[in-house]
Amino acid sequence: MRNIFAVILTAGFASPALAAGGPFFSLHNTNFVVLLAFLLFLGVLIYLKVPTLLGGMLDKRSESIKSELDEARALREEAQTVLASYERKQQEVKEQADRIVAAAGEDAKAAAEKAKEDLKVSIARRLAAAEDQIASAEASAVKEVRDQAIIIAVAAAKDVIAKQMTAADGNKLIDDAIAEVNAKLH
């Protein structure tokens, strides 16, 4: 309430009705009345400690701005740290991916070489098996030819011997064969 009265009193002194012309230190001089009203206004402001309140408010505001700036600076540094960390991780992942691709290429080359070697071994084994089959077939054919030659030779020898041999010669050959068997068995 006291503050309102001071404001009304100050406004009353500054009214144009009181500030008519005259000597300077007179209430009829407008400049003097305005000076007094201004000084009274300043006095009321000082009495109510407005400059201290304004200073405190400005100090609080500057402290809050400073804390916000510090927080923003800390957040910026944290963001830079996180960004650097992610960039390092991205580089590591890229290098790991390159290593994996290189290893896969090496593995593919090794697998291709192994497949070539396995194919060569398989072909060699099949060739050996085929050569064995050919040799076996050849041996079988030679045996059959020999058997046929022996059969033919025996038949031819039989015919020749049958034409040239007499009964006495045949009996003599049988007796010789029996004697030879007896000698070998005993």
Cβ-based neighbours of 48, under 8 Å, separated by 6 or more: 3
DSSP state of 170: H
pLDDT tens digits in sequence order for the chain, 186 residues long: 455 545 455 555 555 545 444 577 777 788 888 999 999 999 999 999 988 999 999 999 999 999 999 999 999 999 999 999 999 999 999 999 999 999 999 999 999 999 999 999 999 999 998 899 998 888 888 888 888 888 887 887 777 777 777 777 778 878 888 888 888 877
pTM summary value: 0.38
DSSP state of 166: -
Q: How far apart are CA 88 and CA 29, in angstroms?
A: 80
Q: State the Cα torsion 151-154-159-160 to the nearest 10°.
A: 140
Q: How far apart are CA 13 and CA 20, in angstroms?
A: 12
Phi, psi (deg, nearest 5) at residue 16 = -70, -20
